[in-house]
Structure 1
Amino acid sequence: MIRVEEATPYQQCTRPWVFDHIEVRGSIFTGPATGTHLLADFERPTEEIRFSLLGAYHCDYPSGPRLDALANYAANVTGRGGFYGMGSARRLN
C-alpha cells in the first residue's frame, strides 16, 4: 500500500489497484495474555480502534490493502502494536 503521489512507475505496476478511501476497523491488544491456555490470546484486554485513510493509495489486491500494511499503519497511528481487524476500501474509477 503506497500513496499515489509517492509511487514510482514500478510500484504502480506491482500495485495496480487504486483506492481513494480506506476504512480501518479493528482492535489492539492493551495488555498481556491472562494465561497459557489455548484461548489466552482471545481473552487479552483489547481496545477498539477506527480510522480512515484519505487520499488515493495503490494496493496489492483488488479487494484493498493487505492486512499487514493496515497493521503497520495502525501501529503508526496508535503508537502500539497488536492490531487485528479488517479494512474496507472504495475503489477509484
Structure 2
Amino acid sequence: MKREERMEQVKEIVTKKLKLKHVVSLDESMRLQEDLFIDSIMLLQLIVYIEEEMKLMVPAKELDPRTFLTVGSLLDFIEQLQPVDSNALSSATAK
C-alpha cells in the first residue's frame, strides 16, 4: 500500500474514530500531541484502531515514544508492521 493511502487511513482514524473534527488535513511534519492534540489515552486508542482498521499487528515490544512524535514517524512505523495472520486470529477467537 502506498504511503499516501496509509496517510488517508490515519486521517480517517483520527477524524472518525478519535473524533478529532478539527483535523482537516494531515502533513507528515505535524506533531501528534502538540499539533493534533492527541493525548496519551488517544495514543493507545490510535494503536488499537491501527491494528483493527489496517489489519496490522502492533507488537508491544516495538512501541517507542519516538514513533508517535509526528505523522511521518507514525507512517514510518506503520510501514514496518506485519499484517495480522488471519489463521492465528480466527483460532484465538475460537478458544
- Please give the TM-score of this superposition, normalised by the length of structure 1: 0.26
Flag the structure with higher helix content: 2
Q: In terms of Rg, which structure is larger?
A: 1
Flag the structure with higher strand content: 1
Which of 1 and 2 has higher RCO (CA within 8 Å, sep 6+)?
1
- Please give the TM-score of this superposition, normalised by the length of structure 2: 0.25
